[in-house]
Structure 1
Amino acid sequence: MFQSRSSLHVMKYASLLGLAFPWAVYADVIDDSHLSLTARNLYLNRNFTNKDPAFPKIGNWSQGFDLQFKSGYTDTPLAVGLDVDGQYAVRLDAHGNDGSLPYNPVTEKTANDYSRAGATLKMRYSKTELKVGDYKPFLPVASNDPSRQLDTIYQGAVLESREVENLTLTGGRFWSAVTRQSSDHEQFYRNGTLDSDDSMGLDFGGATYALRPNLEATYFYGVMHDIYRQHYAGVKHTGDLGAGYKLKTELGYFNNSEDGDARGGEVDNRSYSASMIVSHSGHQFGVAYERMLGETGYPNINGYIPQPFLPNFAGLGFWNAGERSWSVRYGYDFAAAGLPGLTLLTRYIKGTDIDRGQGLADGRESERDIWATYVVQSGPLQGLSFDFKNIHVQQQYGNDYDEFRLATSYTWRFW
């Protein structure tokens, strides 16, 4: 069953919408609405290859469903709408805790199934929109995690405004998140610390300005109260090199320090990163460099929520104290060879100079990824996708492993 607390939120938002406006203004709410159901089957198997591992292998096989209703807006000066979502996943097989499904460390058992549900009240005036409720962000201070069965979902209030040409302003507050292997919204705490060291919320604000059509700059500030403060500045540029070649360049900087009571300990981290990707006729070649400075590593949010604004984030974070990492990648879109729907990505990342603490030798780590995706382009199975990923990890002072993931997904769009 879906969580009763989330169901109450759905009814509460729906009641507010019904009281605020007469039925006549609902025409666009229904006419512009969309209902979809995505089914995702995920198989994951991780084999540890280092000597005498605690667990030779972990993994799972599961089936998930994601139901999404997105309404239109009322035909009023302050337009209002309501989105409703529900997710459910069932375990088909599992051995150990791989971070995909709810796991009880006491009983050492994976849950048979899990689910969540929620709603998002949305209001729009001119080019400014406010959303309150469930949210899947892609921001420097908070991001979604679609890497396993069910996504990470935040709950909060987000205001986004595009009233000024070429400028996007974003601000708000997240007060909880339901991570990829949970049914319940939890308050935020720093990954690797106790969940009793939690925060009352994550406040944030930022701006992205398009200096030119191919050049944009971003700044964001966030504070996870009593845990850490975070500044981010980044620049993205896309250039045409001629003869069909394009160059995409990104520069990024994070500055993290503790806030208030500093629950979870000291935070002293700064990171610099730069990446370049050259593309031509289906081919992509890229390189990236990343440097961690300060006494601590990057402050990750509970649930191992990823940080895609760090270019070397992968199966490993490459965000340890003092770490230097570089990566090289190659991708190919087979549409250029007459096979649309098939793509390939390979990447190698190397991290060195990991500060393991006073009196301990520095560490190093590496990861090699191969990712192939195929989406059926036509026929009765059009839209059916297949994703295959192989991750090979080596850590000087940690676990080495080979991991295989196979996911298939299909979305029914009812209207």
Structure 2
Amino acid sequence: MTVNNIAATFLLGGIALSTQAQADFLRDGKATLGLKNFYFNNDSREGAAKPSKTEEWAQGFMLDYKSGYTDGVFGFGVDALGLLGVTLDGGKGRSVGSTMIPVGSDDRPVSQWGRLGLTGKVKVSRTELRYGTLLPRLPVLVANDGRLLPQTFEGGQVVSRELANVTFNGGRIEHATGRGSTDRTGLAAVGGQRESNQFNFAGADWRVSRDLLAQYYYGHLEDYYSQQFFGLVHTLEFSNDQSLKTDLRYFRTESSGKNSSGAAGYRISGYTKEGDGEIDNRTWSAAFIYSIGSHGVTAGYQSVSDGSNFTQLNQGGLEGKGAGGASLYLYTDRLTQSFTRAGERTAFGQYAYDFTALGVPGLKASMMYLRGDNIKTVSGDRLKEWERDFSLDYVVQSGALKGVGLGWRNGKSHSQAARNQDQNRVFLSYSIALF
């Protein structure tokens, strides 16, 4: 039985229940329509790969419906997510499939694309089971939302809050759909060309005290890798508007199954110590965020071991699927680079400012700089790279345009391990509550 069939079964079951149950199911439901106009421009100034410049502009629509739960010990419900993208500009030679807009067989961007996701859900006490379309935000699995439409996954997830101050997460992911695609695929690690249909995960967030959060997560992608994550987040408040946040993260990733044996199609891309494509990595980072009034200053450091690159789910190597685009639970996952190459050591800093203090509520800006060195690649080592990112966001606070958001992202990177890039993203967004 497919994911959508299972979700439909949940829906039909809810319709067949009592009048009171249906009232809860419908009365507590919410629907919003999200609108996003997105312009993407990436200029790769060096290198022979084509194209050297990507330029795309599109309008997105996201209809998000979340039902309530039927009455009773077991509450049933169903969610629906409708996604539609309409191409405004991005001619042949200026669009790359899966960057944002899918391309057809003639290598031209399609005029429109979309997909529908259904999710059945069951709630018992403070535990919820969801099966269908998911957008996870976990240390071992993050759905990418850096373009017009989000990347989505299919599978099951359980979230339990039965114990005070502890949230348990667990489940299995079976398929993914790329941010610039309508094709459902299996799963893979970066560079992997063979699909796996089983990513199991489990973990917990423990609120030790009001100021301290401890995390542990485990993820296993069949025939690729096993990954453990340990995290500590502590906030020290000096006053009502002054605090120091410490964020410590550690990942241990080891090869599994066919990746361990070096089977063709299951090897990852990039440098590996023995040149066999086997995953073997330890990555840790420490970030310190000092906030005072409208100012925020971040300083941090990240270290990637030299067995292989840091690895998480990435379907970009699957031929002809348009499934590229992945997010990582790392401070260094930025606009153009992720600073996750074998051996890489990265220092980073950021300054952010909220203009409310100057009488412009809704306006925020930030600047971030990252510098990595000691990079190992298949063609050399002790390489370096840097990136500078700037972001500006404004949300209209009143009047007829209240709630309209405007954003600009600008990034520049220079790397001895990849192509130099200049990137701009400009977007306008608005969300309408339907009921």
Please give the TM-score of this superposition, normalised by the length of structure 2: 0.89
Look up the match of 1:323.
344
Q: CA deviation at 1:52?
A: 6.7
Look up the match of 1:152.
151
Paired residues for 1:3-402 under 5 Å: 11-19=8-16, 21-50=17-46, 54-94=50-90, 95-97=94-96, 99-103=99-103, 107-194=106-193, 197-242=194-239, 244-262=241-259, 263-264=266-267, 265-300=277-312, 301-302=314-315, 303-307=324-328, 309-315=329-335, 316-357=337-378, 360-402=380-422
* Bigger shift: residues 248-257 or 182-191: 182-191
Which amino acid in the other structure matches residue 381 of structure 1?
A: L
Q: CA deviation at 1:10?
A: 5.2
Paired residues of 2:344 and 2:372 also in contact (CA < 8 A): yes
Q: CA deviation at 1:45?
A: 1.2
2:370 and 2:426 map into 1 onto residues whose CA distance is 22
Over residues 118-142 of structure 1, what are the superposed CA-to-partner deviations in whole Å (9 max), with x where a residue is unaligned? Answer: 1111111111111111111110111
2:333 and 2:52 map into 1 onto residues whose CA distance is 25
Paired residues of 2:278 and 2:308 also in contact (CA < 8 A): yes
Which amino acid in the other structure matches residue 145 of structure 2?
A: P
SS at 1:294 equivalent: coil
SS at 1:100 equivalent: coil
Question: How many percent identity over aligned positions?
Answer: 31
Q: CA deviation at 1:241?
A: 2.4
Paired residues of 1:6 and 1:116 also in contact (CA < 8 A): no
What are structure 1's unaligned runs of at least 5 residues?
A: none
1:157 and 1:52 map into 2 onto residues whose CA distance is 42
Which amino acid in the other structure matches residue 216 of structure 1?
A: L
1:22 and 1:412 map into 2 onto residues whose CA distance is 31
1:109 and 1:362 map into 2 onto residues whose CA distance is 40
Over residues 152-200 of structure 1, what are the superposed CA-to-partner deviations in whole Å (9 max), with x where a residue is unaligned? Answer: 1111111111111111111111111111111122110112221xx1112
2:190 and 2:403 map into 1 onto residues whose CA distance is 36
Paired residues of 2:157 and 2:169 also in contact (CA < 8 A): yes
1:361 and 1:127 map into 2 onto residues whose CA distance is 51
Q: CA deviation at 1:12?
A: 3.6
Which amino acid in the other structure matches residue 161 of structure 1?
A: S
Paired residues of 1:205 and 1:222 also in contact (CA < 8 A): yes
Q: CA deviation at 1:362?
A: 2.6
What are structure 2's unaligned runs of at least 5 residues?
A: 260-265, 268-276, 316-323
SS at 1:355 equivalent: strand
1:51–1:114: structure 2 CA closer, same or farther, 3 Å change rule? Answer: closer
Q: CA deviation at 1:8?
A: 5.1
SS at 1:155 equivalent: strand
Aligned length: 405
Look up the match of 1:409.
429
Which amino acid in the other structure matches residue 37 of structure 2?
A: N
SS at 1:11 equivalent: helix
Which amino acid in the other structure matches residue 120 of structure 1?
A: T
Paired residues of 2:3 and 2:132 also in contact (CA < 8 A): no
Q: CA deviation at 1:204?
A: 0.6
SS at 1:110 equivalent: coil
CA RMSD of the aligned region, Å? 1.8
SS at 1:266 equivalent: coil
SS at 2:15 equivalent: helix
Please give the TM-score of this superposition, normalised by the length of structure 1: 0.93
SS at 2:307 equivalent: coil
1:59–1:13: structure 2 CA closer, same or farther, 3 Å change rule? Answer: farther
Paired residues of 1:384 and 1:409 also in contact (CA < 8 A): yes
1:398–1:325: structure 2 CA closer, same or farther, 3 Å change rule? Answer: same
1:163 and 1:156 map into 2 onto residues whose CA distance is 22
1:363 and 1:16 map into 2 onto residues whose CA distance is 59
1:192–1:53: structure 2 CA closer, same or farther, 3 Å change rule? Answer: closer
